[in-house]
Structure 1
Amino acid sequence: MLIEHAGKSPQVDPSAWVAPDATICGDVTVGPGARVMHGARIVGEGGGTITIGQYCIVMENAVVRASPRHPCSIGDHCLIGPNAHVTGAVLGAQVFVATGAAIFHGAQVGAGSEIRVHAIVHLRTRLEAGAMVPIGWVAVGDPAKILSPDRHDEIWAVQKPLNFPEWVYGLDRNTPDLMVEVTRRLSGALAGHAHDRRTET
């Protein structure tokens, strides 16, 4: 289903196909030959833009999101696997994002890269073209360090200064009652969906 949000309606090329139970909401452009499969959710929050290139495949139950601070762009011939999450990131052409993988705000994934099953590309991380993040591993930093999940202290040493709360929510990590402030702010931003309007199925 296509939904107008924040005054913006999705633009889907006539040669693309969107499953009837998928949702495309807001300022989203879907290119020629693209396929958005069953249960997928593509949401441009608050006017955030999403561009999906030609012949991209967004598989079942994948989530692609953007916000005004963090637009999202997926290059031509990319495959976003089932249950994968791509939020506010830029993916070059021919990127493979496997089942359950996650790519976060401000990440840049070079053309031809592979993000394998349940792998993570953290916020503000830059992967060179042709990079590979192994199954369950974590890419973090600019340029990326690719580390196994058991190396949490090393991951955190790079991740902490990337400052997720400030980068995503505009809040200092030391804000008193941080989660109270995050959820209040996010609730306010998401309230705009009360005015969404279905434009077509």
Structure 2
Amino acid sequence: MDQQVATVLPPLYPFEGKVPVVHAGAWVAPTAAVIGDVEIAEGANIWYHCVLRGDTNIIRIGPRSNIQDGTIVHVNSGRATSDNFATIVGADVTVGHAAIIHACQLEDRAFVGMGATVLDGAVIEEGGVLAAGSVLPPGKRIGRLELWMGNPAKLLRVLTPEQRAGFDRTAPHYVELSGRHRASLRR
């Protein structure tokens, strides 16, 4: 029996002349929605039922970062070149399932747990961790290797390099897994 090959195109939508840009080596699940001024770098992966809405400002997703199922990434209105109102995600960042990332900055290797929320102007510095279900209020900053938890989130402790190493396995795992999903959808 002949098998039909379905072409699964990423769900990219223009907004007022701005069209999302997705690197050929990135992966966007077919049920995600990527809208407007959004750029997704090589190896980044955007999972099922995510919404990345770059309508009133920019969203940038860095190399090998994973935005897991059901996450919402949005911006605040302001000048399109202003990082204060944009959402900037660095390299090797993990954003867990059903998180909300709004007009904030996640530096390289930041980790946002499942169901967590990062609000306007907040920053998670390199290697910082926001625990699952936590809320990082507007303008707050999680320092390097700090673990914050709660609502509102507060510093719990500074992670040792050994503790942080466990979190660092997530981004490469999701790059590999996204390749498997891409291959499965091509069949």
For normalisation by structure 1, the TM-score amounts to 0.67
- Spell out the pairing of 1:26-37 with structure 2 (5 A cutoff): 26-37=36-47
User: What is the Cα deviation at residue 63 of structure 1?
Assistant: 0.7
Task: Provide structure 1 residue ranges, at least 5 long, that are not aligned to the other structure.
Answer: 140-144, 148-201
User: What is the Cα deviation at residue 146 of structure 1?
Assistant: 3.6
* Contact 2:146/2:155 (<8 A) preserved: no
- Deviating beyond 4 angstroms after TM superposition, the runs of 4 or more aligned structure 1 residues are none
| Equivalent in 27, 40, 49 of residue 39 of structure 1 | 49
For normalisation by structure 2, the TM-score amounts to 0.72
| Equivalent in 55, 73, 77 of residue 64 of structure 1 | 73
Counterpart check, 1:120 vs 2:135: yes
CA distance in 2, matches of 1:67, 1:31: 22
Counterpart check, 1:50 vs 2:59: yes
SS of the residue corresponding to residue 16 of structure 2 reads coil
User: What is the Cα deviation at residue 126 of structure 1?
Assistant: 1.5
Task: Give the counterpart letter for 1:114 in structure 2.
Answer: V
Task: Give the counterpart letter for 1:66 in structure 2.
Answer: V
Deviations 1:85-120 (CA, angstroms, capped at 9, x unpaired): 100001110011110000000111111011111011
Q: Report what 1:75 is aligned to.
A: 90
CA-based RMSD of the aligned residues comes to: 1.3
SS of the residue corresponding to residue 52 of structure 2 reads strand
Task: Provide structure 2 residue ranges, at least 5 long, that are not aligned to the other structure.
Answer: 1-10, 79-84, 157-187
* Contact 1:49/1:68 (<8 A) preserved: no
CA distance in 1, matches of 2:42, 2:35: 18
Deviations 1:57-91 (CA, angstroms, capped at 9, x unpaired): 01100011113321010010001111001000011
Percent of aligned pairs with the same amino acid: 26
